[in-house]
């Protein structure tokens, strides 16, 4: 069995894609330092995270079922430290988390949680929900029953809940909370913080600066939410990822560079309460914080930002006409590259 296992369990929308890209891009270098990153790629850890929660995997890929057991088996054959990383792991229930930790014994298991302030989790998480085909308005996203699939809701967005489900299965000195670095910090600081927890020298790894990805604007995400109910043929995970999230949201709508969105007063207050509760849990149980724990709190002063339910029809029309024009350009380009056969009788 591995000597140590680092479970990087999320949260979503906390720089996890960047950190995972560094880890997978450094797999050979990690191996030279004695670390195992089991599996052949990121999606196996995704499958394992979903399987841990009892989710059906047959329609995702023929190789998806059994992913968790295969990764644990590889860890069992390794004699050095190992890493499992996917942000959906944090959605596991208390008994599911306990089962995974038990399956990794006698290794020394560390739980690593990247996190951000709870209001940022709500708004960015809702945008991600819409980008994956969600149709509920932001105003409906409140209370423990919000959201759609398990990864889009307080089950994965609420740091306090994740700490309660995961934190009691390992000693407190083996629970590491990494708040996202503030603006102005070195752009590879997130990687440096994680490397420190892993016991790695960050300068020995090819870690680019963390990109500042443009966010989907309030008008654009509300437009996408209203389009989603009409995309009934795009329900498979691969279709949602390729066409709704990839093509509509990240290839086109994000290029319109709209204003960032805001939540209503009730949601802000709920987020404050959840954030304060999470910080109290961290301080009471003595979990290890790498960075500024106050970064997990909702700021006292918030910028004025428009809410999706206040977006005007005129703004939606402007975004939609731009999107249609861009899509028509794509269709013309595709037709030029693959001209249709217009021969009579063809």
Write the DSSP assignment of 144-169 as a string of letters. Answer: TT-SSSTTSSHHHH-HHHHHHHHGGG
59: exposed, middle or buried (Cβ count in 10 Å: 0-12, 13-18, 19+): exposed
Using an 8 Å Cβ cutoff, are 231 and 220 in contact?
A: no
**Token duo for residue 1:** 């069995």
pTM over 0.95: no
Spans of all domains in the chain: 4-213+265-296, 216-259+307-339
pLDDT in tens, 330-343: 999 988 888 766 55
Q: Which of 79-88, 238-247, 283-292 has the lowest mean pLDDT?
A: 238-247
pLDDT, mean of residues 34-41:
96
The C-alpha atoms of residue 86 and residue 96 are separated, in whole angstroms, by 15
Whole-number percent of the chain with pLDDT over 70? 95
Residue 9 and residue 111 in contact, taking contact as beta carbons nearer than 8 Å: yes
- What does the pLDDT look like over 303-333, one tens digit per residue? 999 999 999 999 999 999 999 999 999 999 9
- In angstroms, the CA 341 to CA 236 distance is 31
pLDDT for position 64: 85
Confidence of residue 110 (pLDDT cuts 50, 70, 90): very high
CA 234, CA 137: separation in Å to the nearest integer? Answer: 19
What is the architecture, at CATH level 2, of domain 4-213+265-296? 3-Layer(aba) Sandwich (3.40)
Task: State the pLDDT at residue 233.
Answer: 92
Question: What are the helix (H) ranges across 78-188?
Answer: 94-103, 118-131, 154-157, 159-166
Residue 346 has pLDDT above 50, yes or no: no
Q: Could you read off the pLDDT of 190-224 as tens digits, one per residue?
A: 999 999 999 999 999 988 777 666 789 999 999 99
Taking only Cα atoms into account, the Rg of the chain, rounded to an integer number of angstroms, comes to 21
CA angle (279 as vertex; 273, 282 as ends), nearest 5: 145
DSSP tag of 332:
H
- Neighbour count for residue 8 (Cβ, 10 Å): 26
- Write down the pLDDT at residue 143: 75
The C-alpha atoms of residue 78 and residue 72 are separated, in whole angstroms, by 10
Q: Residue 19: in which H helix or E strand, if any?
A: helix 16-25
Q: Distance between CA atoms of 186 and 193, rounded to whole angstroms? A: 11
Phi, then psi, of 178 in degrees rounded to 5: -115, 95
Mean of the per-residue pLDDT values for the chain? 92
| Bridge partner list, 111 | 7, 175
- Using DSSP, state whether 114 is helix, strand or coil: strand
The string of pLDDT tens digits covering residues 43-78 is 999 999 999 999 888 778 888 899 999 999 999 999
Find where tokens 């910090």 sit: 185
């Amino acid at each position: 069995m591995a000597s140590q296992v680092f479970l990087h369990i999320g949260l979503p929308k906390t720089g996890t894609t960047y950190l995972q890209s560094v880890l997978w891009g450094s797999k050979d270098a990690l191996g030279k330092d004695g670390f195992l990153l089991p599996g052949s790629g990121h999606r196996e850890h995704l499958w394992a995270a979903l399987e841990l929660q009892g989710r059906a995997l047959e329609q995702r890929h023929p190789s998806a079922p059994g992913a968790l057991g295969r990764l644990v088996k590889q860890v069992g054959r390794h004699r050095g430290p190992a890493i499992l990383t996917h942000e959906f792991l944090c959605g596991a229930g208390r008994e599911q988390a306990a089962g995974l930790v038990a399956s990794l014994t006698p290794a020394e298991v560390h739980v690593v949680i990247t996190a951000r302030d709870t209001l940022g989790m709500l708004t960015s998480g809702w945008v991600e929900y819409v980008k994956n085909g969600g149709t509920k308005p932001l105003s409906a996203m409140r209370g423990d029953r919000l959201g759609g699939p398990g990864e889009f809701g307080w089950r994965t967005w609420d740091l306090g809940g994740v700490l309660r489900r995961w934190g009691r299965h390992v000693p407190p000195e083996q629970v590491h909370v990494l708040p996202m670095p503030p603006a102005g910090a070195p752009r590879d600081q997130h990687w440096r913080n994680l490397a420190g927890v892993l016991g790695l020298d960050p300068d020995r790894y090819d870690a680019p600066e963390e990109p500042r990805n443009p966010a989907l604007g309030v008008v654009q995400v509300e437009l996408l939410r209203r389009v989603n109910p009409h995309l009934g043929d795009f329900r498979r995970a691969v279709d949602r990822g390729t066409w709704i999230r990839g093509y509509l949201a990240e290839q086109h709508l994000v290029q319109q560079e709209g204003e960032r969105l805001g939540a209503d007063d009730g949601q802000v207050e709920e987020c404050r309460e959840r954030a304060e509760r999470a910080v109290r849990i961290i301080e009471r149980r003595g979990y290890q914080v790498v960075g500024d724990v106050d970064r997990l709190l909702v700021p006292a002063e918030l910028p004025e930002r428009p809410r999706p339910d206040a977006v005007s029809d005129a703004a939606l029309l402007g975004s939609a006409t731009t999107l249609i024009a861009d899509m028509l350009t794509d269709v013309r380009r595709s037709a030029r590259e693959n001209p249709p056969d217009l021969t009579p009788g063809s």
